Amino acid sequence: MLEGSIPSRPVYGALEIRPGRLHLMVADAEGAEAILDLVASARPDFFAGAHIIYLPKTSGEKFVARLEQLAPAQLYVGPSYDAALPRLRRVLAGAHMGLQVYLAGTEGLMGQAMLEATQAGIPHSAIQTEHRGSTARRVQCVHCKGVTEDVTHDPFQCAHCGLHLFVRDHYSRRIAAFQGVRIDAEDPGNIPESVERFR
């Protein structure tokens, strides 16, 4: 565990090639680089058994051509996690034993995709994660239960109920989000200046 981290906070590693017939790779933005880095240790036909789901986000088309050059069995490039979710669920529902899952990019993407994979019965030992790019957080308001994506400032205003929230380091795997609590609960209106803590 990282020094200064708390037990609920996920710990990420580096993706590595594992044996298996099918390799599901889900990445967003700079997470594509983690997939591309696998080329150095991959056998020539490795990507012929790979299904890649990629969400460019702010990286635009920067990595798309390079992912296409890998010649994966399937490559889906989508606008958002919500748009890719039906495909991800379909792949997981039809998966056979030995499926290897590779998740790379932002914490929000990896947390949500890991939740889907484990709910589909994929064991944790078959899921790898590598953080790349933004540290922006996916935060659930503990008051209204709404989830705000890509939070960069602390405190921030909940997109659902409008409360000003302090972003706690507590991470919930059940909802794949950090927790946000009202910062002025004991002293209404006393809201500190918002500072960029996550980029």
The gap from C-alpha 148 to its chain's centroid, in whole angstroms, comes to: 14
Answer whether residue 9 is part of any domain. Answer: no
- Please tell me the predicted confidence (pLDDT) of residue 3: 44
Closest CA to 151 of 195, 113, 114: 195
CA distance 73 to 137: 32
Kindly write down the DSSP assignment for every residue of 106-146, as one continuous string. Answer: -HHHHHHHHHHHHHTT--GGGEEEEE-S---EEEEETTT--
CA distance 116 to 153: 27
- Please tell me the predicted confidence (pLDDT) of residue 5: 57
- List pLDDT tens digits, range 39-93: 999 999 999 999 999 999 988 899 999 999 999 999 999 999 999 999 999 999 9
- Please tell me the predicted confidence (pLDDT) of residue 116: 96
- Please tell me the predicted confidence (pLDDT) of residue 4: 52
- Please tell me the predicted confidence (pLDDT) of residue 7: 74
84 and 179: one domain? no
- Please tell me the predicted confidence (pLDDT) of residue 21: 87
73 and 145: one domain? no
Among 92, 114, 131, where does a domain finish? Answer: 131
Show the low-confidence residues of the chain (pLDDT under 50): 1-3
Number of folded domains in the chain?
Answer: 2
126 and 37: one domain? yes
99 and 154: one domain? no
